[in-house]
């Protein structure tokens, strides 16, 4: 029975309570909770025998599959520090990431062996690479199967202040590693295993047993890559609540294939990341009426990127039995809550003793605009970056606050309206424009499939608002004046785009986040 809020302790308690329940469904087959725990034990012992110790950083460089969670759990078990690796990174990006994380070991898909071999030559600290064999490329390092044959050791030293290192998406700069203590992560990102149990979050570590046996027996399908923070939250939240987790290799996003798997596996909960996933999923339902029996879907939830109100409304009509939810948070704050839309379609969040805004280094009050901040269960900083840590994690009135990059205003009803990333805010004619607000409005136009908004230097206005948009199939591209006419009843005049660039596809990260660096470059061509 768990005696501390350590993620390995908590999982082991859950596995002991429901050993025969299916933990993971994947293309490789089904794993029970007992089987998942045993495989993670073998893997943990193998890592230990190969010299990985408590506090060592272990990279997870894989597609979605049981091995991802097995590796993460194994690292937890020995007190090591797992971190997520974007599988789309190339040599220089990987070299930066592994160096920044001070990676001692990397567990990787065998298809990544060539780039791993290249990167490893330049990183003396990276002394161990373990290939997950998939018959694509012969492994040149210890294999995953070899570690699974390692005899299980006894319990390893652990503490609830052990670290999970979560790298951000890097949409406005190089990714930063957010250091989450296990206890803080459990409560801030997983709601203390309280999402699927009537008693809510755990109060004591041993309460985790009841969350597995007394909660709701559901099947969850996180559609995003597990290297994305929102997917990690969903997956760990599921297995610490005794749910069954569906994993898809996610080598490419195919909306019809997603709905095929939802139907086949009987998924009750589908987790996505914003419009980049929601729009093709919605369109697949529209284009294939009656193809899927989805009456068992009780929730489609989004987190980690913008989920437009118009798209939510469309999906509600197509999945009438399901609730449609939009969780908001960040790698630096955890889950801030379920977003409530404003009249303008912007997200609103509750204000509390541990969630408010910071304005000029102080806590804000009603009517003020600042940056969303959380206290209590928060990270302890950015790994190896004291300067960025000091900028984000600030002591105010004797309490440590994590201040996100999301700008927000406290309204009179005790909620805050969240406008978007302050770092991408456009100042035009002395007025501030948040790209997300304009993007939300643009996506209400029937001909616009996706959009991202960026600022471009302008001699008259300081900056001008530029819309980068892609066209929906079967529609003609409307003119800028036609789009502005559509937006005129939704946005103030200074927020309307002064230029528009049509692209075949709006570039986003694998997790669906806007690529603002790309958008800036495209905007410069307008």
Do residues 305 and 288 share a domain?
yes
Other C-beta atoms closer than 10 Å to the C-beta of 487 total 20
Question: Strand pairing of 269-272 and 299-303?
Answer: parallel
Do residues 463 and 412 share a domain?
no
Distance CA 247, CA 30 (A): 10
Q: What is the token pair recorded at 159?
A: 């503490």
Q: Specify the pTM.
A: 0.83
CA 448 to mean position of chain CA atoms: 25
Whether residue 205 is contained in a domain is answered as: yes
pLDDT the model gives residue 266: 97
Whether residue 393 is contained in a domain is answered as: yes
Where a domain ends, among 274, 307, 329?
329
The SS3 call for residue 103 is strand
Do residues 324 and 344 share a domain?
no
Residue 21 pLDDT > 50, yes or no?
A: yes
The residue with tokens 């105010």 is: 396
285-339: pLDDT as tens digits:
999 999 999 999 999 999 877 677 888 999 999 999 999 998 888 889 898 887 7
Whether the Cβ atoms of residue 272 and residue 278 lie closer than 8 Å to each other: yes
pLDDT the model gives residue 172: 47
Do residues 461 and 415 share a domain?
no
Whether residue 1 is contained in a domain is answered as: no
Q: What is the token pair recorded at 239?
A: 């297995």
Distance CA 318, CA 324 (A): 11
Whether residue 245 is contained in a domain is answered as: no
Do residues 215 and 73 share a domain?
yes
Distance CA 267, CA 299 (A): 10
pLDDT the model gives residue 345: 59
Where a domain ends, among 420, 454, 487?
420
Do residues 351 and 399 share a domain?
yes
Whether the Cβ atoms of residue 158 and residue 8 lie closer than 8 Å to each other: yes
Do residues 258 and 212 share a domain?
no
Domain that holds residue 352: 332-420
pLDDT the model gives residue 1: 83
Which residues, in sequence order, are CB contacts of 247 under 8 Å at separation 6+? Answer: 24, 25, 26, 64, 65, 66, 68, 69, 222, 226, 235
CATH number of the structural domain spanning residue 397: 2.30.38.10
Do residues 91 and 48 share a domain?
yes
- Percent of the residues in the chain that have a pLDDT greater than 70, as a whole number: 94
Mean pLDDT of the chain: 90
Whether the Cβ atoms of residue 464 and residue 428 lie closer than 8 Å to each other: yes
Residue 138 pLDDT > 50, yes or no?
A: no
53-85: pLDDT as tens digits:
999 999 999 999 999 999 999 999 999 999 999
Do residues 388 and 469 share a domain?
no
The SS3 call for residue 252 is coil
- C-alpha neighbours within 13 Å on the C-beta side of residue 159: 6
Do residues 437 and 405 share a domain?
no
Whether the Cβ atoms of residue 452 and residue 484 lie closer than 8 Å to each other: no
- Alpha helices for 266-308 (secondary structure H): 274-287
What is the arithmetic mean of pLDDT over 464-471? Answer: 94
Whether residue 157 is contained in a domain is answered as: yes
Whether residue 505 is contained in a domain is answered as: yes
165-204: pLDDT as tens digits:
999 865 445 789 999 999 999 999 999 999 889 899 999 9
Find, among 274, 319, 273, 277, the residue nearest to 299 by Cα. Answer: 319
Evaluated on CA atoms 224, 226, 228, 229, the torsion sign reads: positive
CATH number of the structural domain spanning residue 291: 3.40.50.980
Where a domain ends, among 362, 390, 420?
420
pLDDT the model gives residue 78: 98
Find, among 208, 239, 229, 61, the residue nearest to 141 by Cα. Answer: 61
């Amino acid at each position: 029975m768990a005696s501390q809020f350590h993620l390995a302790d908590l999982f082991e308690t859950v596995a002991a309570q429901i050993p025969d329940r299916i933990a993971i469904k994947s293309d490789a087959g089904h794993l029970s909770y007992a089987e998942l725990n045993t495989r993670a034990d073998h893997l943990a012992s193998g890592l230990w025998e190969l010299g990985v110790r408590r506090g060592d950083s272990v990279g997870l460089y894989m597609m979605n599959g049981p091995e991802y969670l097995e590796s993460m759990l194994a690292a937890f078990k020995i007190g090591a520090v797992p971190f997520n690796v974007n599988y789309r990174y190339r040599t220089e990006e990987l070299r930066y990431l592994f160096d920044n994380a001070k990676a001692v070991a990397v567990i990787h898909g065998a298809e990544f062996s060539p780039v791993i071999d290249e990167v490893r030559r330049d990183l003396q600290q990276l002394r161990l690479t373990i290939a997950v064999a998939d018959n694509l490329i012969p492994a040149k390092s210890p294999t995953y199967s070899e570690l699974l044959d390692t005899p299980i050791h006894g319990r390893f030293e652990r503490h609830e202040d052990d670290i999970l290192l979560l790298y951000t998406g890097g949409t406005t700069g190089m990714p930063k590693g957010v250091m989450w203590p296990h206890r803080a992560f459990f409560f801030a990102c997983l709601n203390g295993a309280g999402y699927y149990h009537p008693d809510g979050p755990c109060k004591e570590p041993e309460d985790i047993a009841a969350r597995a046996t007394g909660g709701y027996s559901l099947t969850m399908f996180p559609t995003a890559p597990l290297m994305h923070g929102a997917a990690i939250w969903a997956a760990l939240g599921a297995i610490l609540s005794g749910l069954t987790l569906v994993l898809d290799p996610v080598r490419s996003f195919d909306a019809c294939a997603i709905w095929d798997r939802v139907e086949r596996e009987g998924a009750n909960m589908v987790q996505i990341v914003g419009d980049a996933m929601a729009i093709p999923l919605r369109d697949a339902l529209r284009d294939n009426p009656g193809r899927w029996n989805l009456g068992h879907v009780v929730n489609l939830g989004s987190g980690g990127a913008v989920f437009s109100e118009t798209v939510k409304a469309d999906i509600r009509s197509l999945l009438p039995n399901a609730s449609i939810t939009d969780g908001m948070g960040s790698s630096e704050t955890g889950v801030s809550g379920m977003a409530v839309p404003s009249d303008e379609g912007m997200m609103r969040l509750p204000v509390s003793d541990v969630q408010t805004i910071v304005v000029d280094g102080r806590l804000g009050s009603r009517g003020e605009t600042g940056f969303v901040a959380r206290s209590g269960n928060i990270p302890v900083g950015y790994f190896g970056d004291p300067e960025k840590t000091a900028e984000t994690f600030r002591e105010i009135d004797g309490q440590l606050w994590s201040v996100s990059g999301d700008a927000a205003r406290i309204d009179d009803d005790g909620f805050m309206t969240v406008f978007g990333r302050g770092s991408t805010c456009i100042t035009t004619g002395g007025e501030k424009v948040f790209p997300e607000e304009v993007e939300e409005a643009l996506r209400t136009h029937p001909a616009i499939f996706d959009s991202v908004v960026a600022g471009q230097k302008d001699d008259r206005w300081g900056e001008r608002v530029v819309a980068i948009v892609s066209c929906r199939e079967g529609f003609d591209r409307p003119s800028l004046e036609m789009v502005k006419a559509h937006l005129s009843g939704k946005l103030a005049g200074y927020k309307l785009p002064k230029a528009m660039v049509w692209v075949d596809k709006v570039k986003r990260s694998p997790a669906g986040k806007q690529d603002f660096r790309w958008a800036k470059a495209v905007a410069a061509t307008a």
